[in-house]
Structure 1
């Protein structure tokens, strides 16, 4: 029996406005907090951004004594309080520096050249080996570790190198007063700021690598595909079991009800997700690499990682949808998108996030998946470059989803909290005489 009430009268119902207002309002507030709050002031929040400091200076003999000005300037940079604890200067050799740049463990580096001391002493006139040449301090960037992080490291390292050069210039002019007066004017100007600073790419990427961002966008694609596919699969399984209608344009399709426990429903959905992940992972890689021309190597490994990432994210989303019901989609959106993108380490480095976001980054799926994709695309699939962590965290996420999902849903089933309660059997009536 239909009601004669006009449909638009439901807009007068306060609960409808209140319920939807609370949900959409909280969602808007949380997205603003996660997206804007994480990136509003990365410089101020930056703490211990790892940057390499290499002294390749071989030193020089001055007045019968061995002098190593490279060691002096690197020690000055390391002890400088100008950057506070924003930069974590890691003193190392050239070989270690190149390895760590190639694993994404450094956002940049500062290299003192082998002829640093000899070139500077030539400016003072204390050596006679060739014409005076201004030494160059080289700032190396690493866009593969993240464009913003590399930019922050470049700015701080360049400033530190320039300040150290000026400080050394003061020491040289003070200690060589009489000798400086005999130098040509150009040499005195150079002596006041003896080192030039140049910037180079420490770990060059191929041209179709999005300046180090293709790994992030590829990983984001995997997460979004898994999340949205979970929503589709959940709805289609419910329709196949007869629990919901399926609207196809103006048509409404409905199947006979097949009673299934909540655990059985999640098992069916998860099996479907695993099978379809093979297709989705193939198409994502085919679209990115084959159609759009993204630079990539280790294609079999990239395919396997893509399939597993979609499957794990999809099963995680299915679990949340099954446990929380209708509000589950909001939870899924917050977990896989709202909290994930700002803490991925791709847009803003983890070291430049507020403490709360760093905590989220330890387990948020997008960061773990991005680290593995970076390793495959940029770092020759090295385990230490994020690939091992990516596999381990995906396995841990899958186990956590299974324990949480099947555990809670099993409890629902044992309590008789079925999706459609079992109807009481109709009473038998006596047949008429």
Structure 2
């Protein structure tokens, strides 16, 4: 009586602790296939009669300097990079402007001649709509890589200036002033700018995750409540509130028809709850550019999760509570990508994200809230995976309950009907 619940709870909590701690303990160590773009717009320049292209040199330095086993650095054109940023396909972009070589050449000459000059710039664009943690990782990776590039360019530029100052007949070049050495050692200005900043009321990119979590909980908890309360009303389980206890006579109804009733209640409840969530978001001044699309997708996601959860409960009974918690919560939250991006979690979580419901709901909600309901930004995946989940739930529930009914494994005693 006491050993079984202790053993089940221990195993359950061990799985919970492993999954939740593993994905947050060391994201940098777990980094893999983290998508970033590199755009080189530098057109080059002529310095001392020679054509130079520092943009190409920096591109090669970044490709070799950024670890390929951790970061998927994609060399793209500006238009393609912006399209991928708009759809969340990349988390950040390193941009080398068209006048980079020209400004760098002017800096080399201007450091020893009077006149006003402007430092060349390298831009690091973050994508805040991909989430705050993804932005932090982009900033860390980009700043580290560009700082190393800046040091290399500074050494190269210093050597170039000293070579230019060396007398034609030989001899030593004049000593550079301290200010000149400082300017040449740190020649590039690194600018960090957000691409399409999020408006206020988005929780710095976390509202999509919590909204998706609400939808998942509505389907999961809803399926448990509907399953229990309808079974109680039909007399299959007792009802107890405080000291009040009642156990109605079992209703002579098939398992399949019972499940149909639960499914119907779930569909009605999903639409009501989706409207409630939308109303709460509106009252809290949460930006809602596509309220109708969010309502429809929310109701559909709740229905898919709820019907699948009810089918599992119909198939395995009370054990379905644990199965649903493991499927939708324990495995779902760490693999959702809502807080820590999938590319910064252990690879087995990335594998789970391919089919775990929480990730599919999250990318669908994020697309509606942050990416103008763009199908390429995850809405297409969110919709079709919800369709697949709903189909699995319907087929599973129909097959298993009809099979139980065929085998006359009814939940009521015919002799007492």
Instruction: Calculate the TM-score normalised by the size of structure 2.
Output: 0.92
- Distance, in Å, in 1 between the alignment partners of 2:267 and 2:391 is 15
1:148 aligned to 2:148?
no
Of stretches 117-126 and 374-383 in structure 1, the one that deviates more from structure 2 is: 117-126
Residue of structure 2 equivalent to 1:4: none
Please list the CA deviations of residues 72-111 of structure 1 after superposition, one character each: whole Å capped at 9, or x if unmatched: 111210122x534211111112222222111111111111
Alignment of 1:32-431 (within 5 A): 32-80=17-65, 83-125=67-109, 131-179=116-164, 181=173, 184-288=177-281, 290-423=282-415
- Distance, in Å, in 2 between the alignment partners of 1:164 and 1:73 is 7
- Distance, in Å, in 2 between the alignment partners of 1:152 and 1:236 is 46
- Distance, in Å, in 1 between the alignment partners of 2:404 and 2:248 is 25
Query: 1:122–1:129: 8 Å Cα contact kept in structure 2?
Result: no
Please list the CA deviations of residues 287-336 of structure 1 after superposition, one character each: whole Å capped at 9, or x if unmatched: 12x22221121111111011111111111111111112111111111111
Aligned CA distance change for structure 1 residues 18 and 254 (closer, same or farther; 3 Å): closer
SS at match of 2:380: helix
- Distance, in Å, in 1 between the alignment partners of 2:160 and 2:121 is 22
- What's the CA shift for 1:213? 0.6
Of stretches 86-95 and 177-186 in structure 1, the one that deviates more from structure 2 is: 177-186
- Distance, in Å, in 1 between the alignment partners of 2:43 and 2:347 is 42
Query: 1:339–1:360: 8 Å Cα contact kept in structure 2?
Result: yes
- Distance, in Å, in 1 between the alignment partners of 2:72 and 2:161 is 34
- Distance, in Å, in 1 between the alignment partners of 2:344 and 2:31 is 4
- Distance, in Å, in 1 between the alignment partners of 2:211 and 2:416 is 52
Query: 1:112–1:136: 8 Å Cα contact kept in structure 2?
Result: yes
- Distance, in Å, in 2 between the alignment partners of 1:361 and 1:83 is 24
Aligned CA distance change for structure 1 residues 64 and 307 (closer, same or farther; 3 Å): same
- Distance, in Å, in 2 between the alignment partners of 1:294 and 1:414 is 51
Aligned CA distance change for structure 1 residues 129 and 139 (closer, same or farther; 3 Å): farther
- Distance, in Å, in 2 between the alignment partners of 1:248 and 1:104 is 49
- Distance, in Å, in 1 between the alignment partners of 2:416 and 2:372 is 63
Residue of structure 1 equivalent to 2:169: none
SS at match of 1:210: coil
Query: 2:335–2:342: 8 Å Cα contact kept in structure 1?
Result: yes
Aligned CA distance change for structure 1 residues 79 and 218 (closer, same or farther; 3 Å): same
- What's the CA shift for 1:192? 2.2
- Distance, in Å, in 1 between the alignment partners of 2:360 and 2:77 is 29
- What's the CA shift for 1:285? 1.1
SS at match of 2:2: helix
Instruction: Calculate the TM-score normalised by the size of structure 1.
Output: 0.89
- Distance, in Å, in 2 between the alignment partners of 1:390 and 1:149 is 20
Aligned CA distance change for structure 1 residues 414 and 119 (closer, same or farther; 3 Å): same
- Distance, in Å, in 1 between the alignment partners of 2:383 and 2:319 is 29
Coordinate RMSD, CA, aligned: 2.1
- What's the CA shift for 1:143? 2.0
SS at match of 1:224: helix
Structure 2 residue ranges without an equivalent (≥5): 166-172
Structure 1 residue ranges without an equivalent (≥5): 1-15, 426-433
Of stretches 197-206 and 362-371 in structure 1, the one that deviates more from structure 2 is: 197-206
- Distance, in Å, in 2 between the alignment partners of 1:66 and 1:179 is 16
- What's the CA shift for 1:224? 0.4
SS at match of 1:132: coil
